[in-house]
């Protein structure tokens, strides 16, 4: 157990979050395998979440719904309800905040807590974790697993590698015990190491977390710079970062939006419609945050992920902007310059190099301020009456997606 005079950090993780919310809402499915997937009516899309019973059939997150149905034809398929998942996530946040004011959301289903100052009031870390489990289950029907340690990165690994696998769903891993507990684990199991990074480390002769921890820091910095030091510090459990209440772990560096298309788009006439809709979404979100961007990026992918096609390119604009037409013009120019003419199934637009929109360079020779006022007015209408209250005529084309996406959050149905 972490020493009482040191930090006590927890990572609370919701098991199969979307599926758990749906099983709580539909008790008739309690003993049936259940998945949450893109579009059950079309029997298409990918698996966003699978309950433990569905996973016992070999169903995995991110596989195609058709593949899941082949493994388990009787699986219950539920369309995602993102607004409900956000509501439940916020409810869980409020439960955690009743134990400490130091709660930091890491994702919609994971949150860090610093309970160092709460031990005298609520008891030992394990007692607090069990109390959290009981309350979350009672109030939401969601099962929580909890990793406990001295730092955020070790509590994350305690949760992922142990709490998710042990009876009771709670595991304490003090940083001082990492050498005998974690160092013999494969390096691919370490937090922040994906499959590609794992391959690079294997080629360097680094096969376990212990191998990485004992690799000379100079060798890692020479290979990956500061990222090499980050990996070395994680392997040793070194993490002084505080739990920051009310913030997400990853600070926003840009504003972007991507869209998976319902079919292959092969013509510029179809593509430019959704490109304009994306530019409008990104520009509106930028205006809502009182930000502008110096760099416009556009990217696309084909349907075949085994033989990927597409590109991702960016360009600096003359002046920071959050005006739809300007973002679209830059995105369209980039797309036409780099598109090879092959069909696309996914497309994205983003703004980076963000600056506040409080300072704008005025000019006698353009009508940018009039455009800003016009877009602020349309933003107000959409905010009050909905996204489809006012639309561009192009969004009535068969290739447009604005009307369909107005019923969704993050690309999934509300």
Task: Print pLDDT tens along the chain (414 aa).
Answer: 454 458 999 999 999 999 999 999 999 999 999 999 876 665 557 899 999 999 999 999 888 888 999 999 999 999 888 889 989 999 999 999 999 999 999 989 999 999 999 999 999 999 999 999 999 999 999 999 999 999 999 999 999 999 999 999 999 999 889 999 999 999 999 998 988 888 999 999 999 999 999 999 999 999 989 889 999 999 999 998 999 886 544 445 788 888 888 889 999 999 999 999 999 999 999 988 888 899 999 999 987 756 778 888 999 988 889 999 999 999 999 999 999 999 999 899 999 888 887 655 555 556 677 787 888 888 888 777 877 777 787 777 777 776 666 555 555 555
Residues of the chain with CATH 3.30.1490.100: 254-413
Residues marked as catalytic: 110
Q: Which two tokens stand for residue 156?
A: 């994350």
Strand order in the sheet with 76-78: 44-50, 34-39, 76-78
- In CATH terms, the fold of domain 254-413 is Dna Ligase; domain 1 (3.30.1490)
The architecture CATH gives domain 182-235: Orthogonal Bundle (1.10)
Residues of the chain with CATH 1.10.150.20: 182-235
Cα 394–396–401 angle (5° rounding)?
90
What are the residues whose beta carbons fall under 8 Å from the beta carbon of 219, sequence distance 6 or more? 228
Nearest CA among 15, 145, 17 for reference residue 81: 17
For domain 17-81, give the CATH number.
3.40.1170.60
pTM score: 0.66
Nearest CA among 369, 400, 378, 371 for reference residue 278: 400
Residues of the chain with CATH 3.40.1170.60: 17-81
Long-range contacts of 380-385 (CB under 8 A, 24+ apart): 382/284
Confidence (pLDDT) at 252: 55
Q: Is 109 annotated as a binding residue?
A: yes
């Amino acid at each position: 157990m972490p020493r009482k005079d040191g930090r006590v950090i927890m990572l609370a993780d919701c098991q199969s979050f979307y599926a758990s919310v749906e099983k709580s809402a539909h008790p008739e499915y309690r003993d049936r395998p259940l998945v949450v997937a893109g579009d059950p009516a079309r029997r298409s899309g990918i698996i966003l979440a699978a309950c433990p019973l569905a996973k016992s059939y070999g169903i995995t997150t991110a596989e195609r719904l058709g593949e899941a149905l082949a493994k388990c034809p009787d699986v219950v398929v539920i369309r995602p309800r993102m607004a409900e998942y956000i509501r439940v996530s916020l409810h869980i946040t409020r439960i955690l905040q009743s134990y400490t004011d130091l709660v930091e959301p890491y994702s919609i289903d994971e949150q860090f807590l610093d309970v160092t100052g709460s031990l005298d009031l609520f008891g030992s870390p394990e007692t607090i974790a069990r109390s959290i489990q009981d309350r979350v289950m009672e109030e939401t029907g969601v099962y929580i697993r909890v990793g406990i340690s001295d730092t955020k990165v070790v509590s994350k690994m305690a949760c992922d590698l142990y709490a998710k696998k042990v009876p009771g769903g709670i595991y304490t891993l003090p940083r001082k015990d990492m050498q005998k507990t974690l160092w013999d684990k494969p390096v691919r199991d370490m937090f922040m190491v994906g499959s590609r990074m794992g391959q690079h480390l294997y080629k360097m002769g680094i096969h376990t977390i212990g191998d990485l921890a004992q690799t000379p820091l100079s060798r890692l910095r020479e290979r990956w710079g500061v990222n090499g030091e980050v990996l070395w510090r994680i392997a040793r459990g070194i993490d002084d970062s505080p739990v920051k209440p009310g913030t997400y772990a990853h600070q926003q560096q840009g504003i972007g939006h991507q869209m998976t298309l319902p079919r292959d788009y092969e013509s510029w006439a179809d593509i430019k419609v959704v490109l304009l809709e994306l530019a409008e979404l990104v520009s509106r979100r930028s205006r809502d945050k009182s930000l502008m961007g110096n760099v416009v990026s556009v990217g696309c992918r084909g349907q075949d992920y085994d033989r990927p096609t597409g590109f991702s390119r960016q360009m600096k604009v003359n002046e920071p902007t959050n005006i739809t037409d300007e973002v679209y013009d830059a995105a369209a120019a980039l797309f036409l310059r780099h598109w090879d003419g092959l069909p696309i199934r996914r497309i994205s637009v983003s703004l980076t190099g963000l600056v506040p929109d409080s300072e704008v360079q005025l000019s006698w020779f353009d009508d940018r301020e009039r455009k800003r006022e016009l877009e602020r007015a349309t933003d107000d209408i959409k905010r009050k009456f909905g996204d489809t209250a006012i639309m561009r005529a192009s969004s009535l084309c068969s290739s447009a997606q604005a009307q369909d996406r107005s019923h969704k959050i993050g690309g999934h149905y509300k």
